[in-house]
Structure 1
Amino acid sequence: MSSLCLLDVYVPLNAQSLSSIFHNSTMADSQILRPTTEEILEECPRFRILVVGRSGVGKSSLINHVFGVDLAIVSHRIRGECNIEQEITSEQNPRFVLHDSMGFEPGQTQTYDTAKAFLVSRGEGAAPKDRVHAIWLCIQVPYAGGRVFETGDEEFLKLADEFKVPIIVVFTQFDKLMSAVEKNLTDKDLQKSESKIDALVNKRADEEFKKTCLPPLRRINRKLSYARTSELGKWPTPSERATATVVELVSTTQTLLEGTPWFLSAISQRASARAKIDVSIRVGMKKYWRGLASSTHFPGFKLETCLAAIHVDIIASWNFNDPDNLLNSEPFLTQMKEISQLVIPDELEVKSWFKNAEKLQPLIGVGAAVATQFPAAAPVVIPVIAVIGLSAMFIAWFASVYERTAEVLRFFMGYIVDLTLVMDHLFLALLPGQLPRRLTAVDINLALENYKKLDVAAVHTKIRKYAKTSSFKKIYRSNNAEKEVKDLIKTHRAR
C-alpha cells in the first residue's frame, strides 16, 4: 500500500465510513466508541451568534473572516428589511448560525424592543441548541470626531447582565483611524524608516482609540469586553493585520464562554489556529486522551476502532471546509498511518519493520542505537509525500486488539500529535487564501510534506524517549501520557 502523489484522487469512505468502524469491534454494539465531538454536537450542533450594527460597519466582512465563509448579510438600507429571527447559515461552515440586527438609530425604539424580545426567547429558558451563545455589537471607530455610542447602544449593553449572554463590543474599521493618523504625520515623522513610521502610526492610533472609545464604554459598564478590527483584507496587507484583529475577537469571545458554547465557538471559528489546538486538546482530554497509557475506554476494541474515534474528534475540532470529506477518506487515513507507524517498533526492531529503514531515518527520528545499524545513511531529502507505504509488520500489528503496551502507547501518542500538527500546518496554509477556502488534496499533501520536513523526526524521538519500555510501567502508573502529548503539540505547533 503506498501514499498518494499530488495528482491522486481522494475517495471519501462510503459504506466503509469511519462511523461504521466504531462497530467493527469485538465488543457488543451497545458498547461502541462514540467520538466526543459527536456527543457535543448532539447537544448543540451550532454556535449561535447575534451580530448587531448599522449597515456599512463591516459585519459581513467580519463574519466571513471569522467563520471562513462567503456570506452576504441582509442589507439594512431599507428600515425593517432585517429580520432578527432569521437564521442565516452557510453550507461552507455548518457549525454556526447567525442572527443579524440593525444598529440603534437615535430616537428609534423598535429595533431595541425587537432585540430585547428576541433575547428573551433565546435566553436561558431555551434549549441549548436554540440559545444565543454570544453577541457582537459592532461600533465603527470614530476617526473624525462624533459620538461613540447612541442611547440605544448603551441600553442594549445593559442587557448583558439581564439575559446572561456574553456581549463583546467590536470596534470596527480601526484602519480608518490609522489612516487618519498617518495623514497627520509631520515631515519630520516621514523621514523615519518605514518600520518606525508603522510603529509610530500604531502607537498614536492606539492612544487615540483608548482616549476616544474606552471612557464611554467604561461609563456604561466597566466589565464589558471589547475587541477592535480593521477593514479586513485591506490594511496593510490581506493577511497580517486582518488575521491579528480577528484572532483577538475570537480569543475575547472565548474567554466569556464555558461548557458546550466554548467548544462550539472554537470549532466553528476559522481564524485562530491556537483556538483550534486548544479545542482539539480539550475534546481529547474529555475522554480518549485521558489516561492514554492505561485507557479504560479502549481495552477489548480493535486498534482500528480506537484510532477512528481519535481521528474523528481531531478532524471535527478543526472544522475545515471539506465538502468532499477528504480528511475522513481512506487515502488520508492511510497517509497518516504511514507517518505514525514509524514510531511503533523499538529502536532495535526498526530495520525488521521497514525494508528501507536507512532511507526513512530522517522521518523515523530514532537515536544513536539505530544509527549505528546503518552508519552510511545520510540525511535524505524526502520527496513530496514520499512513497513510504504501510509495512507488512504494521498491517499485522494494527489488526490486533488494543493492549496496554509501550508500542500501543507510542502509536497513539504519535498519531494524536502527528494529526494535530498536520492540521495546524493545513490551517495556516489556508488562512491567507481566498474565502471560503475549500480544502483540496493538494493542500493536504503539502501540509503532510511540511510536517514531515519540519517536525516528525523530533516529535517521534521525544515520544520514543518518553515511552521507552524501561519506563512504561512508571508511565502506566502515573497515567499522565496525555500531558506529554499536550506539551509536544504546543512545542511543535507552527508559529
Structure 2
Amino acid sequence: MEHRTLPPTTVDILHECPRFRVLVVGKSGVGKSSLINYAFGVNKANVSHEEHGVSDINTEITSPQNSLFVLHDSQGFEPGETANFEKVEEFLQSRGASVPLKERVHAVWLCVQVPFAGGRVFETGDERFFDLIARTGVPVVVVFTQLDQLLNRMEEYLTDEEMEMPEEEINQLCSERANAEFQKLCVGPLERIDHTLRYAVTSGLGQDSKSPDQPALRKLIEITQDLVSHDVQGIVWVVSAMAQRASARAKIDASIEVGMKRYWQGLAASVNFSNLTLERCTATIHLDITESWNFNDPDDLLNGQYFRDQLKILAQLVVPELSSLTSWFAELDQIQTLIGVGAAIAAAAAPAFAVIGLSAMFINWIAAIYQRTPGVLRFLMGYIVDLTLVMDQLFILVPMKPPRRVTREHIDMALESYKNADAAVVHREIRKYATQASFAQICQSNKAQDKVLEIIKQHCAD
C-alpha cells in the first residue's frame, strides 16, 4: 500500500536553479534576438535596441514559451565609451559567486557580426571585456553571427569563368573562400587576444529563414554546456540542457543525467520504489523525462493521459514471460513480432502495432506494488527507453522555427516513427538482457541502467 510520495528529480534541480541565466552582449543589428529565439525555441525574446543606450542590463528578459531561461541584454562597446562597460562590470560582480546559484550569470554570449564588408571585428571595449571576464570567471562564448552574409559576398566576387561551373562546385568554392576569410577576419584576431577563448559561428537565423544552420546552433549549445559543466553537482549543466531547444543530444544527455541521479539507479532492486505501485513509479519517471526535454507544450500533451497510455501500450510488450503471452494478449501473432520472436521485425511492426491496446492483464499488473521481478525490470527499462526515443523523434518532427510548439499530430507522428523503426528491436534487446543470466545475478550486478543507456545511445537519431 502506498504511503509516501515519489517527487520528480527535476523538482529538486529546478528548486536550486530554476532558470539558465545568460548575459547577451552585442550591438544592435548583429542578430541577438534571432539567435536567442532559435537557441531557446521562442519567438518573444526581443533583445534588440530601438536606439543606443535604451537597454537596462538588470532587466530580466523571459518568455512564456520557455520558462527555463532568463536573459540580460547589454549593447556592445562603442569606441571611447566607458559608461556601458562599467555597467556590465558592476552587473557581473553583483551576479557572481557571492550570490545563490539561481541568481548568478551562468554564461555570457558575446555576439559579434562577421565583418563581411571589411572593418575591424573587435573594438577596444571588447578586448577590455575579455579581461573582465577572465577576472570574474564567468564562462563566455564569442558568437560570430551572420556568416551567410560573408558567403553571399564570395558569390558576388565570382568570375565569369567560375560562374560557368556546376552549382555544387560553385557552392564548394564559395564555402572554402568564406571560411578562409572568416579565419583571417575573425578567428585570427580572437586568438591574438586570447587563444583559450571559445567561439561559435551562426548563419541563416533571420526572421524569414526556413532552414537555420542547425549544426552551428548545436555547436554553440555544446560549447556553452562544456563551459558550464564544472559547477557544483552539475546543476547548471542540466538546466542549460533543459532550457535550450537546439540540440537533441543535449536533451538526451540531460534526461540521462536526471534519471541517473535517483530513479534509474538500481532498477532491478530499487529502494526508491518500495511500497509504491508501478503506476506511481512510472508516472514519476515519465515526468522526469518530459521535464528534461522541456518542449513548448502549453496544452500539457506530453503529460496527458493519451500520451501516457501510448507509452504504456509500448512498454507492456516486454512484461510477460513468453509462456504467458496467450493469457496477456489475444493478438498473439502480432505480439510475437513486436517482442522480437517473429522473423521480419521491421517489415511487420507497423501493422502489428496498429491492433495493440492496453491489455487487461497489464492494467491490473501495473496497479500492483513494485516488486523485484524480471517482468518489472523489463517494463521499467522498456518505458524509459521507449519514452526517451519517442521524445527524440518528436524533437526532429517539431519544426525548428520558433516557437516550436508541440501538437497532437507531432506526437502521433513521433510514436509512429519509433514503432516502425526501433520499437521491436529495442524490446528484443531488453528481453535478451533480462534473460541472459539469472535475475539474482542482474540484481547483484546492479547494471540494468547501463544497458538502458547503451540502448538509448545505440538507437537515438542524433
TM-score, shorter chain, exceeding 0.5: yes
- Are 1:359 and 1:377, in contact at CA under 8 Å, matched by a contact in 2? no
Equivalent residues in 2 for 1:249-398, closer than 5 Å:
249-258=220-229, 259-366=234-341, 380=348, 382=350, 386-398=354-366
Contact 1:385 1:448 in 2 (8 A): no
Q: Aligned residue for 2:456?
A: 489
Is the 8 Å Cα contact of residues 2 and 277 (structure 2) preserved in structure 1? no
Alignment partner, residue 219 of structure 2: 248
Question: Cα offset for 1:483?
Answer: 1.2
Q: Structure 2 vs 1, CA of residues 377 and 336 (structure 1 numbering), >3 Å: closer, same or farther?
A: closer
- 3-state SS of the aligned residue for 1:455? helix
How far is 1:108 from its partner?
0.8
What displacement does 1:453 show?
Answer: 0.7
Aligned residue for 2:102, secondary structure, equals helix
The alpha carbon displacement at 1:240 in A equals 5.0
The amino acid of 1:449's aligned partner reads E
Count of aligned pairs: 458
CA shift for structure 1 position 112: 0.6
Is the 1:73–1:100 Cα contact (8 Å) retained in structure 2? no
Write the distance in 2 (CA, Å) between the matches of 1:381 and 1:316.
Answer: 29
SS in 2 for 1:97: strand
RMSD, aligned CA: 2.1
> Hey, what's the Cα distance between the residues in 1 that align with 2:337 and 2:66?
38
Structure 2 distance, partners of 1:328, 1:378, is: 29
Q: Cα deviation per residue 1:321-362 (whole Å; 9 max; x = unaligned)?
A: 111111111121111101110111122322321111213444
> Whole-Å Cα distance in 1 between the matches of residues 346 and 20 of structure 2?
51
Q: Which amino acid aligns with 1:247?
A: R
Aligned partner of 1:153 among 120, 126, 135: 126
Q: 1:378 to 1:462 in 2, by over 3 A?
A: closer
Long gaps (5+) in structure 1: 1-25, 369-375
TM-fit CA distance, 1:52: 0.5
Tell me, yes or no, if the aligned pair for 1:358 and 1:377 is still in contact at 8 Å: no
* Alpha-carbon distance in structure 2 between the residues aligned to 1:37 and 1:206: 41
- Contact residue 134 and residue 253 of structure 1 kept, 8 A: yes
Q: Could you give the per-residue CA deviations for residues 245-283 of structure 1, whole angstroms, max 9, x where no partner exists?
A: 111111110110122111111000001011111111111
Query: Secondary structure of the residue that 1:213 maps to in structure 2?
Result: helix
| CA distance in structure 1 between the partners assigned to 2:147 and 2:47 by the alignment | 23
Equivalence for 1:464: 431
Q: Could you tell me whether the CA contact under 8 Å between 2:142 and 2:199 is conserved in 1?
A: yes
1:366 shift after superposition: 2.9
Which amino acid in structure 2 is aligned with residue 255 of structure 1? D
After the TM superposition, which residues 18-57 of structure 1 pair with which residues of structure 2 at under 5 Å, given as runs? 26-29=1-4, 32-57=5-30
Matched residue SS, 2:33: helix
- The DSSP-based 3-state class of the residue aligned with 2:354 is coil
Q: Which moved more, 1:103-112 or 1:217-226?
A: 217-226
Corresponding position: 1:407 with 2:378: no
The structure-2 alpha-carbon separation of the partners of 1:379 and 1:214, relative to structure 1 and needing over 3 Å to count, comes to closer
> Which residue is equivalent to 2:397?
429
Amino acid at match of 1:487: E
5+ residue gaps, structure 2, are none
Q: 1:378 Cα deviation (Å)?
A: 11
Whether the 8 Å contact between 2:349 and 2:424 is mirrored in structure 1 is no
Q: Is the 8 A contact 2:346 2:421 kept in 1?
A: no
Query: Alignment identity in percent?
Result: 54
The answer to whether structure 1 residue 450 and structure 2 residue 425 are counterparts is no
8 Å contact kept, 1:254–1:265: yes
Amino acid at match of 1:363: L
Aligned to 2:125, what secondary structure does the other structure show? Answer: helix
Query: Residues 5-60 of structure 1, C-alpha deviation per residue, up to 9 Å, x if partnerless?
Result: xxxxxxxxxxxxxxxxxxxxx3543xx22211111001111101010001100000
Alignment of 1:2-13 (within 5 A): none
Q: CA deviation at 1:475?
A: 1.7
User: How far did 1:230 drift?
Assistant: 0.6
Structure 1 residues 165-314: aligned runs within 5 Å: 165-232=138-205, 238=209, 241-258=212-229, 259-314=234-289
* Structure of greater relative contact order (alpha carbons < 8 Å, 6+ residues apart): 1
Report the secondary structure of 2:255's partner residue.
helix
- Using the TM superposition, give the Cα deviation of residue 216 of structure 1 relative to its aligned residue in structure 2, in angstroms: 1.5
Shift, 1:183, TM fit: 1.9
- Give the TM-score, by structure 1 length: 0.88
The answer to whether the 8 A contact 1:406-1:469 is kept is no
Looking at structure 2, the residues matched to 469 and 44 of structure 1 have their Cα atoms a distance apart, in angstroms, of 42
Aligned to 1:3: none
Q: Residues of 2 paired with 1:59 and 1:245: CA distance?
A: 15
- Name the SS of the counterpart of 2:405 in structure 1: coil
User: Which residue of 2 is the match for residue 21 of structure 1?
Assistant: none
Q: Give how far 1:72 is off.
A: 4.5
What is the distance in 2 between the residues matched to 1:44 and 1:152? 31
User: 1:347–1:367: 8 Å Cα contact kept in structure 2?
Assistant: no
| Partner of residue 416, structure 1 | 384
Counterpart AA for 2:385:
V
